[in-house]
Structure 1
């Protein structure tokens, strides 16, 4: 495993055990480059909840550090990093991603979501005490959070994608016990509000347990109220650890 050039902080009053690893390289020329991630715990030495948080394009995993500490609950945090340098940080997809048609975009998101699923499995093997998994992300990170929940419902119980296109159709039903909450700025010039509302309505109609909250005056961004809702929803979801451990 290769080290990530970042030091995970000591957070809250408990030791936050940090680890940075990468998965094996791509198996074929069309595959995505390997992903790095860091992981640490908050609130307990062996929490039963896992949160995977995915940064936006041009950012880094460190974007999430200040936000996850405000959850005020026991959780293992996993922060993957996009494989491609971009602006002051990293991105998840090739530079041509936005020029792709919908099918190609979806396929690229699915490939990276498969890598993220492998990370979840790796962390679960190392930490068998984990009983509940949530994933969240913004922009490209939101696309991936949704795709991870959609394509790998056996791994993910809760998803909070933000500023996402909600690409891909369900290939199988999500269990009704699952929860997906989409958070969306009403003035988003990249992801139009009506597109999001229509997409959520379609997914609800085919049985996906999904809901949406929108925020006036917010563009392709987060806001204090959006983050307050994000914290409240995830805090409650991560504390619902009464289910039996996943295999």
Structure 2
């Protein structure tokens, strides 16, 4: 019976095309329909803030070096994940992530709640040689980040590109991007006042790589890692689900 059905439909070109369209439409509907309720499924987070230019530069380095291939940023609602990593991830936390870095493959641990879990010194040591702080680590070394000066001349263009896809950067943020990146990694610079005025008093301002005399790619990546999970505190006000 099945063989007869396949033979019949495969010889009918128009019928076969219509069958393909019907099956594809079902899949498309399942993926597209939830988008019509997006305003109901994405949580409200009045305290949500944008990445600073230095943090955004660090995120770009994180993507450039392929960190997302081994580390997800999506804690699921399972009890063991919540107990290990912290509150499960909310959709609103990725509101300004272009592209998003959720993922499902974990060669290394999930990083969604990594921010301020370890000191800057630990993060730097771990990136220079992971085995110095985690003996069994299989993570590659990224010591060159400490030697590479951060390119800051094009940061305004990066913020402008993010603004074009909906991230609410003001024109002042875009215009002052290079100065703000320098100020965030150089605590004694005169630009820190403008930085905190634009991005908030809670902005982390310090020499992330331990050397305030220059701004390196290490500064940027550590600044990004130290803000993960803290662009909004919405997740910490949600009750933990019962484990499956």
TM-score between both structures, scaled by the size of structure 1: 0.29
Larger radius of gyration: 2
Q: Which has the higher strand share?
A: 1
| Higher relative contact order (Cα pairs below 8 Å, separated by 6+ residues) | 2
Q: Which has the higher helix share?
A: 2
